[in-house]
Structure 1
Amino acid sequence: MAAPLNYRHLYYFWVVAKEGGIARAAERLEMAIQTVSAQVRALEQSLGYALFKPAGRALALTEAGQAALTYADQIFQLGEELPEAVRDAATGQALRLRVGMSDGLPKLVVRQLLHPVVETGARLLCHEDEFDRLLADLALHRLDAVLSDRAAPANPNLRLYSHKLGEAPLAWFAPASLFAKRRPGKFPACLATLPLLLPTGHTAVRPRIDQWLEREGLRPRIAGEFEDSALLAAFGLSGMGAFPASSWSQAELVADPRLVLLGETPQLVEAFYLISAERRIHHPLVQRLLGEP
């Protein structure tokens, strides 16, 4: 049987890797350089592989060191979360969900997707960021799940699993003031006579919108592009231009007297995914989002 891992040695290695050298790590740890160096050598001896190699005056990680750092990141991230988890369990607030939201995901859709968790009264921690950064946080178990408009790409270094939550066609809206002023005519031809607000190319649906406009022979003036869907809708409501929105948001937008529904495009479909770091879901709130009993 292999000797148990010495987590003190692993911690010193982790600090050296983060600081880029033993001297800086020793300064951060307020320890002698020789002591830190000895602890790292002890870890290398126990694992049987060199974790660092010289890189000028600094140190660089070997391939084995990169692998060790990946696990160390997860271990010490979980360690930082331990006091809060214990406190939540002791106070009866253990049920919580840390969910990442891709920055291009429509906010009204996010609210609908998360409703099964909201109605439980559990603690919900939402974090919005770029898709790739969210996947990295998920792989490091800093998040329980990620909501996105696309599935996770194939990556042998990240074990991630995509679960399709549903899909919805796009509907097109125009500010009532702009519509009354221009009287643009029938949909979809009217889009060529109105300024358009569109999501930026970082969203999964934007290329499909561009292709659809091309097929319809429409060359509208694009008045604005937005990474944030809520900001896009806000500028649309202000009168800047017409814009697309998921039909899952349609009821709320149709009820707004400042907007006019121009039409729907069933051929333009936006998909929504939940991405997890485990194939078999154990978190009860993630199971609830997936509709599992």
Structure 2
Amino acid sequence: MRLNLHHLHLFHAIAQDGTLTGAAARLNISQSAVSTQLRALEASLGHDLFERRGRGLILTEAGRIALDHADTIFRTASDLTAILGEAGRARSRVRVGALATLSRNFQMQFLKPLLNTPDLEVSVQSGVQDDLLRGLEDLSLDVVLTNLAPARDAQTPWLIHAIDEQPVSLIAAPARIAARITGRGDDLGALLRDMPLILPSPQTAIRAGFDALAARLGVTPIIAAEADDMAMLRLLVREDAGLGVIPPIVARDELASGRLVEVKRLEGITESFFAVTRARRFPNPHLAELLKVARAT
């Protein structure tokens, strides 16, 4: 038996919409044509794929099996198109998605092995995690960089590579050290109790770790500012709005130049970085080496 892929595509559209009318509108064909071609597919497979519930259509058990296979077929076709569409370019492109709030220094550290590589184009797209993962799913991205490990289940089989773990410290402008911290020494509780703090937003893993630390020390922190963007946190610390609770890598250049100083390492609090990919039949050959270098750094 030869499977009619046009009929399978039509079935896929009906399953997504739940109605013949909606699928017909999406495909720009008549409802009667949709109905006729669906019946032809069901006849060729020997099973009903939908049962009617009110005005909608519900997948039967055979329909669910068919939909799973249709998803696999169309993803494989998209993968093949994406790879072979670059024929003649020797896969000379790596498409990276990065969480918009992620440290730019970390992103550059990850991308550094690709820079100055002859005949290689690197594209970087920033955005929110859900959008980036959709790009990974539809093959418009090769890898997503994030500090938020996505949920993984049978429907979203992400490959999650833990590539780095950075310490978190109290970072400050030198003027604040000289004028306000003198005399407190290494008394972490006093620093957190008396100094205004610049914190990551409550939804972040760093903030969760910091809140737990403050609770253990019996400290109610004075919050001067909070943000989910690492670049903004770094700028706030540079403007001496308070002590920043951030990974030193975020302020690497300022720490090296002396514009900022590391006051104290917050033991037990770290930020994890992940590279998220998906299983592909035709993987980007640059990606495996990139992940290997990142894990070894």
TM-score category by the smaller chain? 0.7 to 0.9
How do residues 1-293 of structure 1 correspond to structure 2 at under 5 angstroms?
3-62=1-60, 65=63, 68-69=66-67, 72=70, 76=74, 86=84, 88-90=86-88, 92=89, 94-120=91-117, 122-131=120-129, 134-135=132-133, 137-176=135-174, 182-183=180-181, 185-187=184-186, 188=188, 189-255=190-256, 258-278=259-279, 282-291=283-292
Structure-1 separation of matches of 2:285 and 2:258: 40
| 178-187 vs 270-279, which moves further | 178-187
Q: Deviations 1:86-145 (Å, cap 9, x if unpaired)?
A: 55334x373222333345532321221222233435323334444455445545544322
User: Counterparts of 2:61 and 2:143 in 1: how far apart (Å)?
Assistant: 28
SS of 2:269's equivalent?
A: strand
C-alpha deviations, 1:40-98, integer Å up to 9, x for none?
Answer: 233334444444333432334456545655655565567667776555334x3732223
More divergent stretch after superposition (40-49 vs 4-13): 40-49
The CA distance in 1 between the partners of 2:17 and 2:278, in whole Å, is 28
Q: Tell me if the contact between 2:49 and 2:61 (Cα under 8 Å) persists in the aligned partners.
A: yes
| Percent of aligned pairs sharing the same letter | 32
Return the alpha-carbon distance in structure 2 between the equivalents of residues 225 and 63 of structure 1: 50
Q: 1:276 to 1:80 in 2, by over 3 A?
A: closer
Following superposition, the deviation at residue 212 of structure 1 comes to 2.1
Deviates more, 1:251-260 or 1:29-38: 251-260
Give me the whole-angstrom Cα distance separating, in 2, the residues matched to 1:268 and 1:78: 41
Distance in 2 (CA, whole Å) between partners of 1:204 and 1:4 is 52
Distance, in Å, in 2 between the alignment partners of 1:88 and 1:16 is 32
Give the secondary-structure state (helix, strand or coil) at the position aligned to 2:205: coil
SS in 2 for 1:218: coil
Q: Which runs of 5+ in 1 are unaligned?
A: none
Closer/same/farther in 2, CA of residues 260 and 13 from structure 1, 3 Å limit: same
How much has 1:170 moved relative to structure 2? 1.2
Query: Considering only aligned residues, what root-mean-square deviation do their CA atoms show, in Å?
Result: 3.6
2:227 maps to a residue whose letter is F
The amino acid of 1:98's aligned partner reads R
Q: Which consecutive unaligned segments of at least 5 residues does structure 2 have?
A: none
Q: TM-score, with normalisation over the residues of structure 2? A: 0.77
Distance 2:246 2:105 in 1: 9
Aligned residues: 290
